[in-house]
């Protein structure tokens, strides 16, 4: 194989790689959010979860367990696999430290 043929093959490989979407390589999911927790969920009911807190000064966004950062919804280890509303609340609320 001469250098020209080698360069052509290398360019073809690089072009092929460039056509693969970055998301396919990284496995990154565009919908990183889980399904929203329903207030009808048995665990949610047991902990009196609500999507809109009625407890002054307490909501998921300022709970130490909230994993959503500044997002309107995010994960909570009390409800694995579900997102809770930042404005929500449940009996397991604990102040951020
Ligand atoms: S423990 Fe309750 S209040 Fe705290 S983030 Fe989870 S659902 Fe919201």
Determine contact, residues 53/63, Cβ cutoff 8 Å.
no
Round the average pLDDT of the chain to a whole number and report it.
81
Task: List the domain range (segments joined by +) for residue 13.
Answer: 3-85
65 in a structural domain: yes
CATH number assigned to the domain comprising residue 31: 4.10.490.10
pLDDT one-digit tens code per residue, 17-62: 444 444 344 333 344 679 999 999 999 999 999 999 999 999 999 9
93 in a structural domain: no
Spacing, Cα 75 to ligand 1 middle (Å): 9
55 in a structural domain: yes
Q: Give how many domains the chain has, as a whole number.
A: 1
- Residue 79: predicted pLDDT: 98
Of the pLDDT bands very low, low, confident and very high (cuts 50, 70, 90), residue 14 is very low
The residue with tokens 């404005």 is 87
Residues with CB under 6 A from ligand 1: 49, 60, 63, 65-66, 76, 78, 84, 88-90, 92-93
How far apart are the C-alpha atoms of 71 and 85, rounded to whole Å? 9
97 in a structural domain: no
Determine contact, residues 60/89, Cβ cutoff 8 Å.
yes
Substitution candidate for ligand 1 out of 46, 52, 60, 91 with most atoms within 8 A of CB: 60
């Amino acid at each position: 194989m001469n250098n020209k043929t080698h360069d052509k093959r290398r360019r073809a490989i690089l072009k092929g790689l460039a056509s693969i979407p970055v998301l396919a390589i990284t496995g990154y999911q565009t919908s990183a959010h889980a399904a929203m927790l329903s207030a009808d969920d048995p665990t949610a009911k047991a902990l009196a979860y609500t999507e809109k807190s009625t407890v002054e000064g307490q909501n998921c966004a300022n709970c130490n367990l909230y994993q959503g950062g500044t997002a309107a919804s995010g994960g909570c280890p009390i409800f694995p696999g579900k997102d809770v509303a930042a404005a929500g609340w449940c009996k397991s609320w604990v102040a951020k430290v």
